[in-house]
Structures are given as structure tokens and as C-alpha cells.
Amino acid sequence: MLPIQLLFGLVVCTWIPSLFFDWNYLYQDMSSVRTFNIIISCLLIIFTLFTLSLIHRFPGITSLSYILPILFFWFIVLLGLAEVLNLPLYLMYYCLSALCLLSYLFIIYMIKRHYEVQTLAYIPIGRAIDMPEQVPSAAWLKLDTTCLDQSVNGIVADLHSYDLTDEWQQFIANKTLQGIPVYHHRHIRESLTGRVKINHMYENDLGSLLPSYNYMVVKRFLEIALILVSIPITIPIILITIVLIKLESSGPVLFMQQRVGVGGKEFIIYKLRSMSKDSESNGAKMASKSDMRVTRVGKFIRKTRIDELPQFWNIIKGEMSLIGPRPEQKFFVDEFDNTIPFYNYRHIVKPGITGWAQVMHGYAADEDETKIKVEHDFYYIKHFSFTLDLLIVFKTLHTMITGFGAR
């Protein structure tokens, strides 16, 4: 499907827009300039379609809202590259090509949404009995008997259950031979919710939750480079925010606190103060919705994540990462380690300014919500990759605009 989409995209979004311009009038060396501009537009189409294809396998990628940020990301990257190398990029043609691509992608998505309605049948035995309640994002068909007379995208069952009779096992075997995929309940739950649940050692291979060391090295290099490049933007924002904090309330502009990082080691995290200066005078307390301790300036900088910018220093020091599980206070870590199975395993990677749990769930106000966030953290560790990090960046931008999860 992707090659066909790519072929039509290259024709519609590069060749057709080029017909609207008189290249001989614009440039003396018409053929080479036209060729270069078409190549840049082709790269924009290829990178955008491949990025959408890569991140589509992750949960939550069913919205039109991801098309625009991904397209805009590659548009800016290629535009910046052309400017740095002083290449003859004709902006009007480039913008028209991007606009055609945006329209093309919206049409593709609308067609997909109309035809790709996923229906899953489930066998109500064992831990698969409550699949509709646990994964409400799918359309579910309950199988009370071994008779299945309608088309489905797959069958979900607890394949480890002792209650799965010979009749049901024969039914599963027959449907598999007919080309209908059969999923274990835990695998389908993970793929549709973006969470990995581990209550017992035998329920998951902890070895699969070991992140790639090679990608860790590459990620570290990319993060330092991004921070250095962004300094001309971040420093003025931090300085303006410092002035606003001082004008609103007395006290230090920086909030410093002990947090638990990679390997369970403690470090001092830096944030722009968004609460009153004595917000934790009565002890540690988790943030809640409409928290009265948050100042007026604090509400804005927490919503836009500006309060997290000083953590760039934590990243440079090697204590944090741009993307990873959020670091927690030692008090809460000790408490959750006793009540949430494998809670400390989230410390196998560096904590991050943003992360999969943060963009999928937001802040946790109690232990039950923390359990859900930990399952998101396990999913991130298991699928630790550049593609997932890139998706989190796009989702974080969406979060900054909407304010999702800000407390």
C-alpha cells in the first residue's frame, strides 16, 4: 500500500505543481534548478509518508492531528538544510508542493478511516473475559459458541487458560488455517493500549525490556546537539519567565528537588518555580488538578512545559534525557516500590522531560493512576527506539498546545 501511496504522491505533489511556474523566467539554469526543487519536494513526500507509516504501528495514531506536525517537521528540516547549503530552493513551489501533500494525506486518511474499521472477536474465557472493558478502543464481538459467521480482523483469547477446551482449541486452529489471525489477550492489550502489564515474572520476558545500548549512545548525541542549537530560543524564554515569576511572587525562581534517576541514583532536578515558595512545607504531595499551590504564571508555564526548560542542564550533565519516564521523588519511589510490581524497573533508562506515559496519560494524582503510568513506562522501555521517541515529540507538541496532562 505504501509504494502505491508514494507513487501517486510523487506525481500529484511534485510534477503537477511544477507545471504552474515559468522556470525559464525565474532562473537562467532552468533545468538544474527545477530538478533540484523537485528532488527536495520528493524528499519531503518520502520522509513524511515513511514517518507516518513507521509511527502508525504504535497505539493512539488514529487522528488527523499527526499529519500536520509530521509534515511541518520535515518541511522545516529540508528548508533549513537548503538555506544552510545555500541551494536554489524556490519557496513558492516548495510551499505549493507541501500544500498538495497535506491535501493528499488528508484524502488518504479519510479513505482509510472509512474502510479500516477493525472488529475483533474474543473468547470469554480466562483473562480474555473482560477485553471490551480493558480495551474499549476496539469493536468487540463476543463468541459464546464456536460459530463465527461474520468477518473479523482477528480473534483474541487467553491461550494459556486451562479452561480453553478442546473444542475451542480446534476452533482456533481452524480459523488460523483460514487466515484469520489469533492473538493472545496480553499481546493485543499491549498493542492497543500502549501499556505493558507485569504482575508476575512469568507473564513477560524481562529481557525484552532491555533498551538498546547503541540507540542510547545515538540518542545522547542527538539530545546534546538539539539543546545547543535551541539555546538562542530557550535562553530568552527562560529569562522572560524568570522576570514574570519574580513580579508575581517572592522567593527563588528555580525549584530544586531530589529525584530518583537511572539505576536508582538520586540527583537534583531543576525547574522554573510554578508553585508558591512554601508549597511542600508540610511534606511531599503529588500534584492534582486545579492545585491551589500553583501560581498564575505557574499555570501557564506548566501547561506549555516552559517550567521544564532548566532540565536541559540535567541532560547535559547526563542525569536526564529529553524523553523517558518522569523522575519521581524518593519518598514516592519507596512507597510505590512496595505496592506496584516491578516499579523500580522503570529506572533502567534515564528519566525524561517528557515521555510515553506523560503524553498518553498525563500526570498521576494517586497510586492507581501511577500503576497505569508505570505500564506505559514498561511499553516505552520495551519499544525503545528513535521512531517511538519521534512520535513522543509530536505528541508532546500536541500536549503543549492543548495543555493535556498539565497540573
Q: Which residues are CB-neighbours of 362 under 8 A, at least 6 positions away?
A: 404, 405, 406, 407
Which of these three, 97, 115, 133, is where a domain ends? 115
Amino acid 54: pLDDT = 77
pTM of the model: 0.74
239 and 342 fall within a common domain: yes
DSSP states of 303-330: HTTGGGTTHHHHHHTTS-EEESSPPB-H
36 and 61 fall within a common domain: yes
Which of these three, 115, 140, 171, is where a domain ends? 115
168 and 263 fall within a common domain: no
Q: Which domain holds residue 317?
A: 213-402
Q: Which residues are CB-neighbours of 112 under 8 A, at least 6 positions away?
A: none
- Would you give the distance in Å from CA 45 to the centre of its chain? 22
Amino acid 406: pLDDT = 47
In a domain, 203, yes or no: no
In a domain, 79, yes or no: yes
DSSP states of 235-279: HHHHHHHHHHHHHH--S-SEEEEEEE-GGG-EEEEEEE--B-TTT
* SS3 assignment, position 121: strand
102 and 151 fall within a common domain: no
- Domain count of the chain? 3
Alpha-carbon separation of residue 325 from 255, 273, 317, 384 (angstroms): 20, 21, 17, 12
pLDDT lower than 70: segments of the chain: 1-2, 21-32, 56-65, 112-117, 198-209, 277-292, 364-365, 399-407
Amino acid 285: pLDDT = 56
261 and 381 fall within a common domain: yes
383 and 253 fall within a common domain: yes
Q: Length of the chain in residues, anyone? A: 407
Which of these three, 100, 115, 130, is where a domain ends? 115
In a domain, 200, yes or no: no
C-alpha cell recorded at residue 290:
486545579
